[in-house]
């Protein structure tokens, strides 16, 4: 996708990054026509190895690897150079989404200190890989966030096998150029038709929670149990009515 055709400005991405991924999901579910139980979200458990870095947001740069196979480095001798050029040509911010064909086994890692620094220089903010990473401290120092299945020791025969097409990671299909928001909870790969409205929806639903159910759940000292329950019922109704008026949807409460 050409940067000029993207519905979100850099300032929009920065604002989306201020919230955690569940908050973005709360807004997204109000506007999407997709099945919220199957589309966009990771369907398998992820692990955030740099939770202290907070959420990351960017556009997917997709890659397939197979570290167990010695064939790929021999038959794709220029793959590293071609891959780096491809990444460089993509518009950022970028999240490298890596499908590891060795899954469920873990043989080697595409990611380590060197690749983290290289890809950070190419405008990538992090990776989502259903394989492994290594050099986790050095990757953190490079400012490169990683969501992966586990750690491992070596790189085996890893090299870029193919890129730019659809991949499957953690049970979810992701296309190149798709907007992704990710943190320690998992990720949301936003369907393209929902990108332009997601910031407004996340803003609204976060405010809706704060002014209704969360406010009612933090009562002043001395509030009786009966009054608290009444306030919570009223707040839940106000929350639903606000969501219905704005999105024709009731929301979580």
Residues 53 and 136 in one domain: yes
Segment 122-158, tens digit of pLDDT: 999 999 999 999 999 999 999 999 999 999 999 999 9
Residues 183 and 79 in one domain: yes
- Identify the pLDDT of residue 5: 54
Segment 12-53, tens digit of pLDDT: 999 999 999 999 999 999 999 999 999 999 999 999 999 999
Residues 171 and 217 in one domain: no
- Identify the pLDDT of residue 252: 76
For the beta carbon of residue 159, count every other beta carbon within 10 angstroms: 20
- Cα 240 to Cα 20, 101, 201, 229: the distances in Å are 22, 44, 14, 17
Q: Is residue 83 a part of any domain in this protein? A: yes
Q: Is residue 252 a part of any domain in this protein? A: no
* Residue 186 domain boundaries: 3-191
Q: Is residue 253 a part of any domain in this protein? A: no
Residues 65 and 104 in one domain: yes
Task: Tell me which residue of 21, 5, 111 sits closest to 57, measured CA to CA.
Answer: 21
- Identify the pLDDT of residue 6: 63
Segment 69-89, tens digit of pLDDT: 999 999 999 999 999 999 999
Query: Are the C-beta atoms of residues 22 and 41 closer than 8 Å to each other?
Result: no
SS3 228: helix
In angstroms, rounded to a whole number, what is the distance separating the alpha carbons of residues 135 and 144? 11
Residues 90 and 205 in one domain: no
Residues 242 and 224 in one domain: yes
Query: Side-chain half-sphere of 113: how many Cα atoms within 13 Å?
Result: 5
Angle at 3 between CA 11 and CA 57, to 5 degrees: 50
Question: Is 230 a residue whose pLDDT tops 50?
Answer: yes
DSSP H helical segments within the chain, as ranges? 10-16, 21-31, 71-75, 79-89, 113-121, 136-141, 195-211, 213-216, 225-247
Query: Are the C-beta atoms of residues 59 and 90 closer than 8 Å to each other?
Result: yes
Q: Is residue 232 a part of any domain in this protein? A: yes
Name the domain boundary from 167, 191, 215.
191
Segment 147-157, tens digit of pLDDT: 999 999 999 99
Question: Is 2 a residue whose pLDDT tops 60?
Answer: no
Q: Is residue 111 a part of any domain in this protein? A: yes
Query: Are the C-beta atoms of residues 135 and 156 closer than 8 Å to each other?
Result: no
Whole-number mean pLDDT of the chain? 95
Residues 162 and 222 in one domain: no
CATH code for position 166 = 3.50.30.40
In angstroms, rounded to a whole number, what is the distance separating the alpha carbons of residues 156 and 137? 20
Question: Is 226 a residue whose pLDDT tops 60?
Answer: yes
In angstroms, rounded to a whole number, what is the distance separating the alpha carbons of residues 201 and 192? 15
Q: Is residue 186 a part of any domain in this protein? A: yes
Residues 23 and 82 in one domain: yes
């Amino acid at each position: 996708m050409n940067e000029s055709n993207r519905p979100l400005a850099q300032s929009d991405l920065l604002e989306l990054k201020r919230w955690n991924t569940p908050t973005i999901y709360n807004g997204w579910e109000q506007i999407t026509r997709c099945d919220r139980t199957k589309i966009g979200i990771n369907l398998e458990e992820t692990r955030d190895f740099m939770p202290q870095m907070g959420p990351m947001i960017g556009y997917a740069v997709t890659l397939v690897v197979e570290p167990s196979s010695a064939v790929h480095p021999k038959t794709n001798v220029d793959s590293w150079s071609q891959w780096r050029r491809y990444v460089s040509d993509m518009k950022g911010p970028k999240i490298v989404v890596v499908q590891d064909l060795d899954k469920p086994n873990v043989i080697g890692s595409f990611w380590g200190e060197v690749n983290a620094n290289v890809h950070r220089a190419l405008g990538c903010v992090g990776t989502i890989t259903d394989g492994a990473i290594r050099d986790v401290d050095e990757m953190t120092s490079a400012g490169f966030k990683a969501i992966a299945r586990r750690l491992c020791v070596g790189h085996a025969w890893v090299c870029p096998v193919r890129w730019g097409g659809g991949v499957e990671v953690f049970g979810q299909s992701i296309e190149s150029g798709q907007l992704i928001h990710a943190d320690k909870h998992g990720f949301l790969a936003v369907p393209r038709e929902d990108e332009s409205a997601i910031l407004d929806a996340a803003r609204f639903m976060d405010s809706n929670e704060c002014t209704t159910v969360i406010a009612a759940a933090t009562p002043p000292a001395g509030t009786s149990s009966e009054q608290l329950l009444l306030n919570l019922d009223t707040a839940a109704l106000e929350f639903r009515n606000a969501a219905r008026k704005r999105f024709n949807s009731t929301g979580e409460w």
